[in-house]
Structure 1
Amino acid sequence: MNYSDSETRQWAMFLHLSLLAGVLVPGAGFILPIILWQVKKNELPGIDAHGKMVTNWLISAVIYGAVFGLLSFLLIGLPLLGILGIVSIVFPIIGAVKANEGILWSYPLTIRFLS
């Protein structure tokens, strides 16, 4: 989806970048994106699709983290947890750049719970 409204693009970018808030404040990367999405989705309809994408990624990342955490007992999960950490930083940045360009970018490896 493409959005041309500059305010929608700006808030969509903030929504994606808010996933990185957990780097500064533990748990904020889970709470802040959902709050931004819920507050802005009625005011700016284009935000709803970005909010669903971000929420789907959050849920997917938690599931992947739990599975990889269990696999770490077999030593397979340790590198997978490292990769998950890297993509949890890279994906929101790419999503924010694309949102600022007016594009809804689908995070790879995301399980679609909300559509």
Structure 2
Amino acid sequence: MNPADEKLWATLINLGGLFFGFLAPLIGFLVLKDRGPFVRAHSATALNFQLTLLIAYVVGTVLTVVIIGIFILLAAYVLNIVFCIVAAVKANRGEWYKYPMSIGFVS
């Protein structure tokens, strides 16, 4: 895959996490992981971040019984928007990016 295609797919995978949760990075990782190091790194980090957010959403949902869960859900939602946009911009520029505060499930 040429570098322009890698940048395009990395950008789409990061934005896909914003709209479709962990499904877009998972599909992108499974399909494109052997196509180039840049798209593999971006899809793996996007998948790790979306899985970390999934855990935060589950914990926040459980803790809505106590009021703190609402704040956890709100923080996770805002972080998803901000970090996915930052990652997509970095991918579009051809820069490597690692999401902060994400657990490394896939490498």
TM-score > 0.5 by shorter chain: yes
Number of matched residues? 106
Which of 61, 66, 82 is the equivalent residue of 1:74?
66
| Residue 49 of structure 2 is aligned to residue 57 of structure 1 | yes
Q: Match of 1:5?
A: 3
Identity, % of aligned positions = 33
Contact residue 53 and residue 76 of structure 2 kept, 8 A: yes
TM-score of the two chains, using structure 1 as the length reference = 0.81
Segments of structure 1 that go 5 or more residues without pairing to the other structure are: 23-28
The residue type equivalent to 2:91 in the other structure is A
Q: Cα distance, 1:50 vs. partner?
A: 0.9
> What secondary structure does 1:46 align onto?
helix
CA distance in 2, matches of 1:34, 1:76: 30
> Relative to structure 1, is the Cα distance of residues 114 and 30 closer, same or farther in structure 2, using a 3 angstrom cutoff?
closer
Unpaired segments ≥5 residues, structure 2: none
**Could you say which structure has the higher helix fraction?**
2
Instruction: State which drifts further: 30-39 or 65-74.
Output: 30-39
Shift of 1:33: 2.2
Q: Equivalent residues in 2 for 1:1-115 (5 A)? A: 5-22=3-20, 29-115=21-107
Aligned to 2:22, what secondary structure does the other structure show?
A: helix
Q: Distance in 1 between matches of 2:97 and 2:35?
A: 21
Structure 1 residue 20 displacement after superposition: 2.4
